[in-house]
Every structure is written in structure tokens, then in C-alpha cells.
Amino acid sequence: MKQQLLRHEFVEQFPDQPTDGTVYVSMLFASAMHLCCCGCGNRVVTPLSPSGWTLTFDGRTISLDPSIGNWSFPCQSHYWIVKDRTDWSRRWSRGEIVEGRDRDQSAADVAARPKRSGGLWRKLRVWR
């Protein structure tokens, strides 16, 4: 069954038997996990990082940003988790899925790439 209302639980480690409709948040591992909100039972792990997901806790509810796109599952469900609720979106087209994947990939690439410092600046100084 599609989940509409969610709960959240702050845990150290994700449970072996997670409950449907619960978002587990581990600060220790900087990630969140829940069972796919479509009810298919697949585990969705969302790493919290600048190139991954951002968790917002307003003291009562949690939100995850960006949306959850389960393209690797047969259900291909896509939804947002906003204030302990699932916000369902229409199913994405193939093209949009590929584009979304590309964007995720490049964001991760940028984060992983070491910063080159002063390349242009050095060139400018040589030109003088």
C-alpha cells in the first residue's frame, strides 16, 4: 500500500526488520533509510551529504531533499518526503530518468574531484 503518512526514528544503526512507513535516520552513518513508500518493500538508503540528500528536522517532522527516485526498483516510484509525509509525483519518463541520473552522477563527480587551486590565477601572473 502506498504510504502517505510517515514516522521517523533517530537510530544509531538501521534495524534488520524495518517497518513500513518509518524513516530511520542515523547521524552516526550520516544516512537515512526507509522502505520504498509504494509498499514494494525495497530498502531505500539515502546518504546525507552535500552531493546526496539533505535532511531537515524541524523538531517534529523530517524532510528529505531532493526527491526520492527509485529508478533501480521495478516500481520506479518517485516521491518527496516532506514533513513526515510522502508527496507523490507523476511517474517520470525514460528521458527524465536518464537526465536525473546524469545530474546525480555529475554532482557526485564534482564533489569527488579534487579542487584545482589557482590554475587560472597562475596563468594570469605569467602573462604579465
Residues in contact with Zn ion by the rule CB under 5 A: 36, 38, 40, 75, 77
Smallest distance from the beta carbon of 52 to Zn ion, in angstroms? 20
Omega of the bond prior to 66 within 30 degrees of 0, cis?
A: yes
Residue 91 or 122: the one with the smaller Cβ distance to Zn ion is: 91
For residue 41, the minimal CB distance to Zn ion (Å) is 8
Any residues with CB less than 8 A from the CB of 123 and at least 6 apart, and which?
Answer: none
Q: Which residues of 60-94 are buried (b: 16+ CB within 10 A; e: fewer)?
A: ebbbbeeebbbbeeeeebbbbbbebbbeeeeebee
Q: Which residues pair with 7 in a beta bridge?
A: 22
CA atoms within 13 A on the CB side of 84: 11
Q: Among residues 76 and 107, whose Cβ is nearest to Zn ion?
A: 76
We find the least distance from the C-beta atom of residue 51 to Zn ion, in angstroms, to be: 24
Q: How far is the CB of 90 from Zn ion (least distance, A)?
A: 15
Q: Smaller CB distance to Zn ion: residue 59 or 74?
A: 74
Question: What gap in Å lies between CA 101 and CA 83, rounded to an integer?
Answer: 25
Choice between 42 and 107, CB closer to Zn ion: 42
